[in-house]
Every structure is written in C-alpha cells, then in structure tokens.
Chain A
Amino acid sequence: MLLDTSKFYNLYFYNVDTKTHSTIFYLNANTIYFHNNKHAHISSIIPLYNNKNRKIKIISAGRTQSNIMWDSWRCVKAPNDNLYAVYMKELENYRGELVVHNLSKNRVVNKVEYDYPEYLDAFQMRRYVHILLNSFIVVFKIKDNAFNLYIYTI
C-alpha cells in the first residue's frame, strides 16, 4: 500500500494506492470524503474548493493529463460558464509544461513549455501565471534575453 499526502488550503488529501485499487480521501468537519476511481491518482486530480458552501469537488484532468504538479493548479469559472484550469505538468529532464485546460469541454486550450527546473515549483510558478478579471490567463516566461507575455482570453 502506498500513501501520498498533499495539503490543499487547510485540508490534507490522502491518496491510497494498492496494486488493484486506489482512492483519494480527505477529512472535513469530522467527515471522511472518498473519491473512488480505479485510475485515481493524486497527480491527475484537481480539487475545487467553493468558499461559499465550503465543499470540495474533485475533478480528474483525464488520463493523458497525469504528472500534474500538486498545488500548481488554479481554476476559474469564466463568464462564458466554462471551467478552466491552468496547471504545470512535469515532463522528463526537469522540464515543465504549463497547460491551460478547458475542463468543461475537456480540451487543452494552450501549452507553454518551460525548460528550467526552477519552474518546477508550485510556489515559484505563481509568479508566472495569473488570472485577470476571471476572464484572462496571463502567463510570463523569461528565457535568456526575452520576456514573453501570453494573454489568453477564456
């Protein structure tokens, strides 16, 4: 049995994996909530916390979008009613890929590749990704002498 723990906001998420089964669970208000999925893994889920009703909804980013860096995601419901997530995916050789994902339509809107290990840190990454007016995703990328600024309308 393997156990991963990851903290999100003020909650711990627990991912328990055996050879045949896996589950993700968390405790809130003295209740245990399970997210059961045969393929559930902490690196492919995106938790959404609704501060109005204090409920957490776990969304799977899909099988192809695994290796998502824990806590790197930011989610927003855009004015067009679609739910978007922007997160960092870990690639081989210490590279990362920033993904803008329309979760409602399960469609990757765009990707920006980063080839410096410093980007593979969820907290550092927050310097480079911002959501403006709940309608634009702003991405900075500095590579050598070029400052690249991407603005996605969502």
Chain B
Amino acid sequence: MLLIYIYTPYDYMHGILKLLTSKDEKKHIRDILSRYFAREPAWSTSGWDKSINCTVTLLGGEIPFVKYLESILDIGFHEAHEGIDNALFVAFKYEDNILEVSFSTGQDVVIIKNPTKDSVLPPPNSVLFSKKYELDISYDISKSYPYYIHKVSKNYIFGTDVVFEKTFSSESDYTIMSSRSQLIDINDITILLSKNGIFANLEKHDRNKELNIELYDMYGHYVIPQEESIKFLDLTKIYKNLYNLKNEKCYDCDDFINASDFLITFDIKSKIEYILYKIYQDNYNTEIKIHKYYYYLDETNSNLYVSVIVAKNDNIEDNTKFDFYVFEYNIRKKGLPCRIVMYSVGYDSKILHKKSTDYISAMRMFAYASGNKIQFFEILTRINDEDQIKRIYIHNNEIMLINDIFVIKAKDIRYNRSAILNFGSTNTKDIYHNNYCQVFDYNVVSFVNIFTDKSGEDKRRRYLIILSNIELVMSMPLSK
C-alpha cells in the first residue's frame, strides 16, 4: 500500500484561514493568499536536531520501534510575508492499534505580512488535517526487527547516528538525545561521544585485550603540534569505576554511565609558558618566544612528552638563537613537577631546518639516556617537518611503524630491534610527492604513497598492516 500526501503553503494558509476568528487576521491571510497566485513560497527545514522529534519504544522490553514521529517545517520568505518558522508540524502517532497522521500548526507561529508588517498569530497545535488508520492483525510488531538500532541499554538506545534517551514519563519510551554521536571501542570499554556529554559502558564481550591503553587521546593517535589545550579520557579510572559498580551490583553491563568527570583537559601552552618562565626568569636581557611545540602522549603510561623550540633574541646580535627542550609530564599525577628530559642549544635561524652538530649530539645523548625509548628518538629526529610526523604510528608502546618513501620501517620498541619492508616502486623514475599513514581502530594502519610515475600520471598506493597478537594454537612438525 502506498499513501501520498502533497501539501503546499497555499493549503497551509487556507487551513490557517479556517482556524482564525479575528476579522483583521482573516483579511491579512486573504491578502497573502491573493499574492500566492503569482508564486508560492517554498517549504524548508532546519537541521536534524531542530526539525525531527521521535519516540522509540520497546515492545515487551525487547523490540524497539518508532511509535511517534514529528517533522517540523518552515516556510521561506515571500513578497507577501516574512519567513515563517515552525509553521507546520507533521506528526505520526501510534496508540491503541491506530496510526494517526496529522498536519498541525506549530507553537509560537507568527505570520508577518509584507509590506505592512501586520502580524497574524495562528492558534498553536491546531490540527489542519488528520487521518486515522486502524491497523489489522498483519501488523504484528513482535515479529519484526529493526536493524538500524544497534544497541539497546537500560538508559539509551543507539541508532545509526542517533542516540535515544529514556524518558521520565514512561518506562519503555526513549526520545532523541543527540545526533551525530560517535561510539568508540577501546579495550573492553565503549565510549559514547555526543554533544550532550561523554558516556562509558563496560562491554560484556572483551575486545583488544592485548592493548594496554590508560588514556585515550581525543585528538587522535599522532604527534600533534601547537594545540593550546589537549583532552584525554582517563580509561583506567573509567574502568575501575565501572568495575567497582559492577561488583557492588548497582551496575548492569549494558548501562552507560556519565564519564565526563574522567575527561582531563590539559592546558599545554600555559604549562610550557610556566616552565619557560622558571627557566629564563633570570635572563633579563633576553626576549623569549615559543617558536614551535609538539606533543606525544604515551597512552600506555600516561606520560606526555612535549618538545619545545624556544626562540631567543638578546637584542645584541641580529640573529635569533633557538633552544630545544623536551619535557615529560605525567597527565594523571597532577601537582608533580614537569621533568626536563632533554635540553640542547645551537639552533641557528639561518639554517633552521638543518640540525647543528650540537643538536645531533644532544639527541644522541638523549637517546642513550632514555634507554629503549627509541620511538621517541625517532619522533624527535623528525619534528622539523610536520609531514614527517604523519608517517609514524606507535602501537601500544610496543611497535612503531614508519612510512618512509616506498619503505615501511617496523621497530620493535620492547626488544629494540627493527625491520624494513620494501613495498613500493622499484622504478627510479617515479617522483615521490607525499606519504602518510592512517590508523583505524588501533589495529589497522593504512600507508598511503602519492607519486608520479614515468608516464607522468599521478598515482596513489595504499598498503595495509593489521596488528594483532598471534597465538600458536597447534604446532605441526614439517615433513621432509
């Protein structure tokens, strides 16, 4: 069965005319209708959040279905009137086996006639048109299943892009809480990021157990330059909180709890400025300026490494000097001072992108001092070029992957060893342009190489590496 309704602003104004009692207001609407003969205005809608209301309910506590839907339409500007917000509500309501379709006036609708600016106030929520359909036995919802609902929990229902929250008025009704929300699985915790807040849930089914992530970096898994403040979720605390609640039996696995309290906002710029103030407070004649800074979060132990290049101008020589620092700070141990893990001098502004001898020496010293932190050494050697940083991915502080030109370098951080995989062009005439890596779901790293081949055609090659723990299930002797 197909039902079609077509409704125009002309129909709408006619409907309004019937609802009004004031002679003046009726005259204004008739004036508007007379000018609709030349051209009618267009319907429009606002964004998803403002134009759609929807209630999902659970049948027998199990099967979700939409029982109420409302779409709100505006009427655009017309020479006969100004634009009309919330003009029409189109609603579908299911009750007692009857589906009602209704068109009604919105709330606080104001129709302003042009050019006189006389206003008409239609009665709110007044039905302009309605039709009821009695549903027969063939509409047995208990036999249905909506695959666009991805998760049903005690307080929330997750649909594609939309989260519904349980209402106070009914045990089984849920209304739209947020659209464009995002679900992220990290270890066995599911994080819901929505504009209404951050929520967490301890999944029944474990996932990525080999990952050892304490903090979740809200900005991604890369080294990031020049953010004034950075945000992390404290997964360890979330896990402990959920685990305790579960043991106290006041938490069901399917529930989401508000995790906003576990969001750490770290004002990185202020921290750097404070440290530099302490370092340079006695250098009265030197002008200090932060030239650049980068940070890298070791998500497995919550250590934040910040690399800062400081421009120094002593107003004597016309040549800016640069100092190079690396600070280490544990995000979860507030109040502890920042540790300077490296300091170097010897940058020259005229050869900024070339490392001076002093710089290299300092780097080597740092690498020697920091033991197996080869991943950090690798990052530091590349910080002069932001594109270089996009080539690096560090997995669980164990494996470091670097997308070099047509080569993947894999470094085993734990055992301090490395391997090189040649995957790209063997043609020396290929002109390399750019390469980077993308990370999906912590496990999948996609390497992208952009180059021009000998025929002059621009090409893009992608290579995948999936990181996974391999367990030997059964050993088999090899036959000769």
Q: What residues make up the interface of A, taking CB atoms closer than 8 Å to B?
A: 1-3, 5, 9-12, 14, 16, 27-30, 32, 48-51, 54, 71, 74-81, 110, 123-124, 126-127, 130-136, 138, 140, 142, 144-153
Contact = CB atoms under 8 A, between A and B. Distances in A.
B85 to A, nearest CB: 16
A147 B8 contact: yes
Among B150, B205, B206, residue most surrounded by chain A Cβ atoms (within 10 Å): B150
Contact of B43 (A123, A130, A147): A147
27 contacts: A1-B462, A2-B462, A5-B446, A10-B185, A10-B190, A14-B444, A14-B464, A29-B205, A50-B147, A51-B152, A75-B147, A75-B148, A79-B141, A126-B162, A127-B48, A130-B54, A132-B69, A133-B65, A134-B66, A135-B135, A142-B42, A147-B73, A148-B5, A149-B3, A149-B4, A149-B7, A151-B4
A127 B51 contact: yes
B232 interface: no
Contacts of B222: none
Nearest to B10: A145
B318 interface: no
Contacts of B154: none
B94 interface: yes
A54 B446 CA distance: 26
Chain A, interface SS category: strand
A12 B444 contact: yes
Nearest to B2: A152
Contacts of A77: 143-147
A12 B147 contact: no
Residues of B in contact with A, size category: 35 or more
Given A27-B441, A27-B443, A132-B69, A76 B7 contact: no
A3 B464 contact: yes
B6 A147 contact: yes
Contacts of B469: 30
Highest count of chain A CB atoms <10 Å: which of B148, B162, B206: B148
A142 B94 CA distance: 24
B147 A48 contact: yes
Interface in B185-200: 185, 190
Given A50-B147, A127-B48, A133 B206 contact: no
B212 to A, nearest CB: 14
B71 A80 contact: no
B152 A151 contact: no
Contact of A29 (B6, B63, B151, B206): B206
A33 B8 CA distance: 50
A81 B71 contact: no
Given A126-B160, A145-B43, 12 more contacts: A5-B438, A14-B440, A27-B443, A29-B205, A51-B149, A75-B148, A132-B99, A133-B139, A135-B135, A142-B45, A147-B43, A149-B3
